[in-house]
Amino acid sequence: MTEFELINRYFNRAAECSSVVLGVGDDCSLLQLPEQRQLAISVDTLVADVHFPANADPASIAERALCVSLSDLAAMGAEPLWFTLCLTLPEASEPWVSAFSRGLFRVASEYRCELVGGDTTRGPLAISIQVMGAVSPDCAFTRGGAQVGDLVYVTGTLGDGAAGLAGLKQMLKLDSKAFEYLSRRYYHPVPRFDAARKIVGLASAAIDISDGLVADLGHICRASEVAANIHLECLPLSPALLQWASLSQQHQWALGGGDDYQLCFTVSPSNVEAVETLIDRGLDACVIGDIVSGSDVHPYLRGERFSSSSTGYQHFG
Amino acid sequence: MTEFELINRYFNRAAECSSVVLGVGDDCSLLQLPEQRQLAISVDTLVADVHFPANADPASIAERALCVSLSDLAAMGAEPLWFTLCLTLPEASEPWVSAFSRGLFRVASEYRCELVGGDTTRGPLAISIQVMGAVSPDCAFTRGGAQVGDLVYVTGTLGDGAAGLAGLKQMLKLDSKAFEYLSRRYYHPVPRFDAARKIVGLASAAIDISDGLVADLGHICRASEVAANIHLECLPLSPALLQWASLSQQHQWALGGGDDYQLCFTVSPSNVEAVETLIDRGLDACVIGDIVSGSDVHPYLRGERFSSSSTGYQHFG
C-alpha cells in the first residue's frame, strides 16, 4: 500500500445513507436523488494562507471548509445529501490527515452529508469541496426574487467572523472568553439550515454572507435589479464585538467583514407578519433595512448616508 | 468589476441544456436529473508540475483536465450532463484564462457536458473538475463484476500517453509526425463513450486506464477478488510507439504508463461472441488476457512470466 493509498483510507468510509448506491472506490460514485427533487450543487476552494492560515489546526480547517460549502446549500433552501473532497497536500502527513478527517466527518455527521468521492494529490495545501443537496422544484431561494417594498433581514450577528480572524492574527485585543467565542465563529461557522427551513415559502430572496453584508446583499440587488437601504444601528452585533471592537471596527466588520455565514433574506410585506411570528418563537433574525428602486446597497447611520471604503472582502476569488 | 469578476465572466455562459434549472451565479446551481436515472459523479485534481507542465498551452491543459474526468463517466457507462470547475491561479492573467476557457468549452460542447458551477481562487496553479452524469440503475459498469473465465479486453492502443509525455519532456526522440500524434494522445485523451455505449450489457467490469494497465486492471482484480493473466504480445500498440520506442519502453509504457484513458473491460464467455461481432463491425478493442482465480495481474511474454518493476504510475494521488 502506497503512502497515497494509506491517506485515502482515512476518507474511505462505508456510506451510511441509502441514497449512496455505490460510494468511494470505483470510477464514479452512483447516487440516487430523492424523488421529485432537484439537485442543488455548490463548490468552494480554500487555499492555505489565502483563505486560512496554513498552520491552523487541521480539524478546524476541515470543519470550516465543509461548513462554508454547506452554507451555500442552506442559503438555497436545500437539504444536504453528499459531498466530494479534493485535497492537495504538500506531503503525506498521516497525523495531519487523521486530524483533518476527524474534523471533516464530525461536520459531515452533524449535517448528514455523506462523503461520496474525492481526489488526493501532492501540491500546495488546498481544499475543494463540492456539496450536493436536494430541493423541491420552485422552493429554492434565489438571489433574483427581491422586490421594491420588501424588508431585509439577517440571521444571527454580523462581523464576528472578521473579528475572530483579527483576533487569531493578534490584530485585535481580546480576553480569553471573547477570543474563544470569536475564533470559534471564524473556524466553525454554522450553516443556517435551521433558519432556512423556517423561512421556506416566506423569503423572496436569500444569500449567505460570506463576503460581507454589503457585497452579498449587493448580489441580491444586482440579480433582482433593485437597491437596498440598510441602517447601521439595526445591525445585530454580538456582546464580544460590542465590547472589544472600536465603533469603526464594528461598522467595518459588520458591513464588509466576510466569513459570517449568516443568511441575509428579503421578505415581501404580505409575509412580514409570518416572519415576525417566527422571530417571536425563537428565529434569531431581525430587520436591517428595506428594498427600494435603484441599484446598490446604501448604508445609513442615524438617518444620514454612511460612507465606508469597506464594501466587501475583496479576495481574488 | 474586479479582476476576479472579470475572470469569472469567461466561465459564465448561459446554459444551453434544459436540465440546468439555474446555472452559474447563485449560491447553488439547480439541476434536473433525467427521470429514472442515477447520478454518477467523479472528481479529479490536476496540479501544475505534478500532473501537467505549468507552462503548457492553457487550452490543452483545460481540454486534458475535462477529458480525464469525462473518461471516468465513460468507464462507468454513464452519459455526461454537467461539470464544475475549481481553478486556482497564481495571477489573474486574462490571456491565460481566455485560452483556458476556449479549450474547456470546446470539449464541453463536444461531449455535451454543461459547466454549472465553480470557484476561482488565487494560489498555485491547480484545476479540480467534478463531472456528473446519468446512468440507468443496474447498467453501470463497476470494478467488482469480473469472474473467473472472463476475457480481458482493452480499447485503442496502450502506452501512447506515456510516450507522448516522454516526447514532450524531450526524453524520447520522435519525428514531427510521431511527436504530433503522441503528444496529442497525452494532451487530448478521448473519453471512450463510443466504446462504452456499445458494450453496455456485455461487459462484466470496466475501468479507464489512467494509472497504467497493470495498476488499473489490478483495481478490477481487487474489487472482483480474482486475478488476471495478460499477454504482452497481445497488447495493442500504435505504429508510432512501435517505431520510436525500444522494446523495453514499449513494454514499460503499455503495462505501466498512465494517461491512456482507454477502457479495460472484462467479458463473460457467454458475451464474447457479441463483443467479437462488435469488433468486426468497428469497435477498436482486442483481447489481452483472461480472468483466473487468485489475485493481482500477471503479465506473460511468449508464455513465460514477465517481470517488470513498472506496475503503475505511482503518483502521490
DSSP A2-67: -HHHHHHHTT-----STTEEE-BTBSSEEE-PPTT-EEEEEEEEEEBTTTB-TTS-HHHHHHHHHH
Q: A126 and B92: CB-CB below 8 Å?
A: no
Domains B3-135 and B151-305 share a fold: no
Distance, CA of B316 to CA of A39 (rounded, Å): 32
**Disruptive mutation site among B2, B26, B87, B296 for chain A (greatest number of A CBs within 10 Å):** B26
ipTM exceeding 0.85, yes/no: yes
Question: Whole-number mean pLDDT of chain A?
Answer: 91
Q: For residue A310, is pLDDT > 60? A: no
CA-nearest residue to B121 within chain A is A317
CATH fold group of domain A3-135: 60s Ribosomal Protein L30; Chain: A; (3.30.1330)
Say what the pTM is: 0.88
pLDDT recorded at residue A315: 38
Q: B122 and A317: CB-CB below 8 Å?
A: yes
Span B248-268, average pLDDT: 95
CA-nearest residue to A130 within chain B is B130
**Disruptive mutation site among A19, A36, A39 for chain B (greatest number of B CBs within 10 Å):** A39
DSSP 3-state of A266 = strand
Where are the domains positioned within chain B?
A: 3-135, 151-305
A304: pLDDT confidence band, cut at 50, 70 and 90?
Answer: very high
pLDDT recorded at residue A246: 96
pLDDT recorded at residue B57: 92
Q: Which three cell numbers stand for residue B252?
A: 514499460
pLDDT 10s digits, A25-56: 788 999 999 999 999 999 999 999 888 888 88
CATH homologous superfamily of A151-305: PurM-like C-terminal domain (3.90.650.10)
Residue B108 or A93, more confident: B108
CA-nearest residue to B85 within chain A is A43
Q: Which three cell numbers stand for residue A223?
A: 440579480
The HSE-up count of residue A238 (CA atoms within 13 Å, CB side) is 23
Q: With beta carbons under 8 A apart, name residues in chain B contacting A263.
A: none
Distance, CA of B289 to CA of B43 (rounded, Å): 30
B313: pLDDT confidence band, cut at 50, 70 and 90?
Answer: very low
Q: Count the neighbouring beta carbons within 10 Å of the beta carbon of residue B159.
A: 31
pLDDT recorded at residue B311: 47
pLDDT recorded at residue A316: 36
Q: B26 and A50: CB-CB below 8 Å?
A: no
**Disruptive mutation site among B46, B128, B193, B204 for chain A (greatest number of A CBs within 10 Å):** B128
Distance, CA of B296 to CA of B220 (rounded, Å): 9
Starting at the earlier edge strand, list the strands of the sheet with A79-89.
Answer: A114-122, A79-89, A126-135, A38-47, B29-31, B20-22
pLDDT recorded at residue B17: 79
pLDDT recorded at residue B50: 85
Q: For residue B258, is pLDDT > 80? A: yes
Q: B41 and A117: CB-CB below 8 Å?
A: yes
Distance, CA of A186 to CA of B291 (rounded, Å): 54
Q: For residue B13, is pLDDT > 90? A: no
Contact B197, B80 (CB under 8 A): no
Conformational region of residue A22, where left means phi above 0, alpha means psi within -120 to 50, and beta covers everything else: beta
Q: For residue B15, is pLDDT > 80? A: no
Residue A199 or B25, more confident: A199
Q: For residue A85, is pLDDT > 90? A: yes
Q: With beta carbons under 8 A apart, name residues in chain A contacting B117.
A: 41-43, 130
